[in-house]
Structure 1
């Protein structure tokens, strides 16, 4: 691993030691997994990882996050959040993530006080700057820290360090919440995200690891995004017929393939980079 990245890892360790104690918002994704592992390495029982469990978190993601915590002896608390009871979240505005993170941090704040944790931290990093991240506004409101960003870590740095530490998340694809598959302005419901979860699980079991199923209400229609190099595999007659049969059983009346392939944030508003 390059010295500059090793130096950033040392910086992250120093940042976390400086906190004294830390409650980590943990999902098991590449960013929060590294944060939780290094926080535990530096703080021991003066840290606590907290998973927000709701319908928008795939069950497989929850299981993998719990397993990683067990393997690294990370203290873990599962918090059941209620963003789906919030009409503002359900209406799915362009800043939907604000309401989700607000719900999470509003529970983490008293938990941190109760557990005598001086800092709440989450996995924002330097590569997130300039991206569409309304959740960062909620983090600012609750004074949540971003140690990965404070240590100047990019997404590539995080993957390099994760590989160096032999974490299983080093090459893990991005896994945003299931609600992100529903176009803004179309209502978010547990039933819809349940359909999305089942559809994506089927595709992943076929070998499509970087995949999104965009759920459109008219029908409903499932629009599949896979990485461009796997488009031909998805178009194979036998594969697509299996997908069509599975998605029909799930409840979709039409299945489309996005010919542009998977790209991050394809449903984000065009003004996100302003």
Structure 2
């Protein structure tokens, strides 16, 4: 049994950050990148946080990044990528994430002008189907929290101790992950999904996904949120609003929300 504690891992992370400076942090405003930026601040190193906004990023997330940057007083730069620059990702095959990461991190690397680029992957990101990890390795992007063997739960625990508002923030993947593979991604499709999820946020749901299967919306809810949906009036209201957005059918997945559910068929095929 390992005797390495969470504190040991945190100290290892701080030490590695001093060896990597000056560097650029790929900053999304999520649990991991926010903690990484806070750790870099604690380490007193020279760094800059860089956010790349794409059409795959919901407006809600862009606003939250701006709030975090101000709250944490980060040296921050925002870059933009248009949908046409993500052509291979838009094709939406099983390597979508690989192509998307390549475009995003090449943009950051160009901006970094020779400085090291780091990002917030952790031990738990080694599971599931993650072709984006291949792109990061090819580009030489460093993952210091993965190197320090920090898990997601440990990062949440340390974030709470550091007083970060993101310590219990639900996981948030890009909008492209809502579209079933091999169904080409369009601006209209992304907008429809974003509006649908914003409506659900306003209805009080916290951890969920609206998965787009052509003319069918498949809603995944966390255990807690599944309790909320057991209201016939709420069901009718939600169904009506999503149908007005363009979904012909609105369905509820009887299984609880699980990150990466769109990867199930790919993982099963790889195991055969």
TM range (shorter): over 0.9
Unaligned stretches of 5+ residues in structure 1 = none
Indicate conservation of the 8 Å contact 1:83/1:103, yes or no: no
Counterpart secondary structure, 1:173 = coil
Q: CA deviation at 1:99?
A: 0.8
Counterpart secondary structure, 1:141 = helix
The residue number in structure 2 matching 1:20 is 21
Q: CA deviation at 1:134?
A: 0.7
Distance 1:272 1:173 in 2: 29
Distance 2:112 2:85 in 1: 24
Indicate conservation of the 8 Å contact 2:122/2:145, yes or no: yes
Counterpart secondary structure, 1:51 = strand
Indicate conservation of the 8 Å contact 2:220/2:256, yes or no: yes
Distance 2:73 2:34 in 1: 13
The residue number in structure 1 matching 2:154 is 157
CA 1:243–1:251 in 2, change beyond 3 Å: closer, same or farther?
same
The residue number in structure 2 matching 1:206 is 203
The residue number in structure 2 matching 1:93 is 93
CA 1:86–1:60 in 2, change beyond 3 Å: closer, same or farther?
closer
The residue number in structure 1 matching 2:128 is 131
The residue number in structure 1 matching 2:174 is 177
Indicate conservation of the 8 Å contact 1:32/1:122, yes or no: yes
Distance 1:180 1:161 in 2: 28
Indicate conservation of the 8 Å contact 1:25/1:50, yes or no: yes
The residue number in structure 2 matching 1:246 is 241
Indicate conservation of the 8 Å contact 2:55/2:82, yes or no: no
Distance 1:69 1:215 in 2: 32
Indicate conservation of the 8 Å contact 2:207/2:225, yes or no: no
TM-score norm. by structure 1 comes to 0.92
Q: CA deviation at 1:84?
A: 4.4
Distance 2:254 2:186 in 1: 27
Unaligned stretches of 5+ residues in structure 2 = none
Deviations 1:152-187 (A, max 9, x none): 101111001100101111001110001000011111
Distance 2:90 2:261 in 1: 20
Counterpart secondary structure, 2:167 = coil
Deviations 1:215-243 (A, max 9, x none): 111xx211111013432421311111111
